[in-house]
Amino acid sequence: MVVAAASTGSGSGFTSILFLLLLFGVVYFLMIRPQQKRRREALQMQSSLAPGDRIVTIGGLHGTVASVTDEVVHLDIAPGVQVQFARQAIARVLDSATEGAVAEVPAEDEPAAAEPAVEEPVQSPIIDTRKKD
């Protein structure tokens, strides 16, 4: 009976260690690796900034890069207004192709025939439920 208890105890320890290793592997592949990949991409994007790039900061400010130093990026946010941000505060670079693209509304070939305007009474969505005397 003692031999049986000892063998089940060692198997339980092995499964506990195996479970912990499996849990660490899942956390590594689902959380740590993707975060490292995003950080590498952000560093690459921030190091490739050049004057003229349209960017968005982490605070949501849109601007154009005026100049770049080691740690500071100078942005033009309006004509004659220049601000400086830390390089790490740049969230993303906007594509110039998507930045200027505005959905065009197709123009109608012929204007619609002028119809007389008929005014219909506008009904309020509010219903009066008070008793009237």
pLDDT tens profile 11-61: 688 899 999 999 999 999 999 999 999 999 999 999 899 999 999 999 999
Q: Across the beta sheet with 90-93, what order do the strands follow?
A: 81-86, 72-78, 62-68, 54-57, 90-93
Name 2's Cβ contacts closer than 8 Å, sequence gap at least 6. Answer: none
> Which residue is listed with tokens 């670079």?
93
Report how far residue 39's alpha carbon sits from residue 28's, in angstroms, rounded to the nearest whole number: 15
Token pair listed for 84? 């400086």
> Quick one: which of 89, 100, 87 has its CA closest to 50?
87
Categorize the per-residue pLDDT at 72 as very low, low, confident or very high, splitting at 50, 70 and 90.
Answer: very high
Q: Could you tell me the pTM of the whole model? A: 0.54
Which comes out higher in pLDDT, residue 29 or 117? 29
Q: What is the per-residue pLDDT for 117?
A: 62
Report how far residue 101's alpha carbon sits from residue 91's, in angstroms, rounded to the nearest whole number: 21
Q: Which stretch of DSSP H or E encloses residue 117? A: none
